[in-house]
Chain A
Amino acid sequence: MSKVLFASISKKFVMALAGLFLLTFLPVHLIINLMLLKSDPASFNEAAHFMATFPPVKIFEVVLIASILIHVTYGIYLQISNWLVRPVGYVSGNKSETSFFSRFMIWTGATVLTFLVLHFFNFYFVKLGLVDGDPEDFYSMAHNLFKIPAYNYIYLSCFILLGFHLFHAFSSAFQTLGLNHRIWTPVVKKVALFYAILIPAGFGLISVTLWLFR
């Protein structure tokens, strides 16, 4: 049994499940953030308050943090193991036709991770009371951050790289779960492209609006 649990396929299975959960969380987060575009802080702050206090959402939060930790740990572990399987590389390079963004998952992932650390210091740790700030007024905190040009540069670059990650991630997760289908797999790939553009575009819209037009 333990052999089955630690097989390479099982690791990818767990990683894909955690990744899929993160894929469902991103649109939820985006919808709440879009309330930042309103001039009245009330609805955003109420939504943030609800997310922080409503008990069922607390379970969601535990699953979310666990998913991030599992996905990142397995992602880094698998990547390092995979590098070690080819100690000597090819001088003539690798010119095979591949799913382009799949080759950079560890780097796009690492960028997202760096952003998450920054993001946790800016918001999540404030909520947990580890960092100074008013957890009841994330609206003003967000608006203040988006006034800093450097923050917007970092924010936008990270979301573009997240989009690259998502494009491969979306369809890859289905394949890992064993879901490959003559008709549906091409559809999944189209949805993946749509998703990978929509999510970064949504977050990017908030950044650019608050930075340049408020």
Chain B
Amino acid sequence: MKLTLKIWRQKNAQVKGNFETYRMDNVSPEMAFLEMLDSLNKRLVEEDKDPVAFDHDCREGICGSCGMYINGHPHGPVPAITTCHLSMRFFKDGETVWIEPWRAKPFPVIKDLIVDRSAFDKIQIAGGYISVNTGSAPEANNILVPKNVSDEAFNSAICIGCGACVAACKNASAMLFVSARISQFALLPQGRIEAKARVRAMVDKMDEVGFGSCSNTGACEAECPKQIKLTNIARMNREFYKAF
């Protein structure tokens, strides 16, 4: 396949960036999207040029670092996957592919396609934990949790903190992420103990680091690689009102 890539290049947070055009002549449909970028970078290094900086680690959809905005969608046009799971067979010969970093004030560009997502860590640190003594693992059956409840908590806990929800949202709101992280605790008895303080602290931090508010538009849900549901946001709102 032949492709034209339009990639956002930016040296650091201080300078302005711009789109560079790269022609790719030999893209195999069997390649992964990140492999395609690897082959571009190999070429750039051979030409003694600066390779495109992009984040990646696990390349199996669990670390959440490979965020990039491809042709109008976070993680590309295929629903429910991360960029590392995106295959080149979803692109057409001759297509132009736009690749942009996440765009949100709390996610400043570090270089090219890499953004600083530590705003998410700050929210997590504010309340995304339970206070327990360390030591050997407690007996799992001491506190019984109904299967449907533990499933629901699990469905929230699989959020990988990738930031696609923020990238997709017209308000750059982090409500889907924050609500998933609140729900994973709020649903379980161990998490109820600090529930009020948690929701207040995390929402407070979310506002402080500067994410937008929720318009219930649903772009986050449509783009989340882990299919986290909007019901989490309603639950977070309920938890927030109960914390008064």
Contact B72 A94 (CB under 8 A): yes
Q: Nearest Cβ distance between residue A177 and chain B, in whole angstroms?
A: 7
A82 to B243, CA, bound (A): 25
Q: Nearest Cβ distance between residue B207 and chain A, in whole angstroms?
A: 5
A88 to B19, CA, bound (A): 13
A97 close to B (CB within 8 Å): yes
Knowing A9-B240, A178-B237, the reply to whether A95 touches B72 (Cβ < 8 A) is yes
A91 to B77, CA, bound (A): 15
| Total B residues in contact with A, Cβ cutoff 8 Å | 49
Q: Considering only CB atoms, which chain B residue lies closest to A105 in the complex?
A: B215
B234 close to A (CB within 8 Å): yes
- By size class, the interface of chain A is 35 or more
Q: Nearest Cβ distance between residue B111 and chain A, in whole angstroms?
A: 15
A144 close to B (CB within 8 Å): no
A168 to B230, CA, bound (A): 15
Q: Nearest Cβ distance between residue B19 and chain A, in whole angstroms?
A: 7
Return chain A residues, CB-CB under 8 Å to B103: 86, 88-90
Contact A94 B168 (CB under 8 A): yes
Contact A90 B100 (CB under 8 A): yes
B217 close to A (CB within 8 Å): yes
Contact B234 A85 (CB under 8 A): no
Return chain A residues, CB-CB under 8 Å to B171: 82, 85-86
Contact A12 B213 (CB under 8 A): yes
B154 close to A (CB within 8 Å): no
Name A95's contact: one of B73, B104, B173 (CB within 8 Å): B73
Return chain B residues, CB-CB under 8 Å to A88: 103
Knowing A11-B213, A92-B69, the reply to whether A98 touches B240 (Cβ < 8 A) is no
Contact B72 A90 (CB under 8 A): yes
Cβ contacts A to B, 16 pairs, < 8 Å: A12-B214, A82-B170, A82-B171, A85-B105, A85-B210, A89-B103, A90-B100, A91-B6, A91-B98, A94-B72, A94-B170, A97-B219, A97-B222, A98-B217, A102-B217, A178-B240
Other than the given A178-B241, A180-B230, 12 more pairs (CB < 8 A) read A4-B200, A9-B240, A81-B213, A82-B170, A82-B215, A85-B172, A99-B217, A102-B217, A103-B170, A176-B214, A178-B237, A180-B231
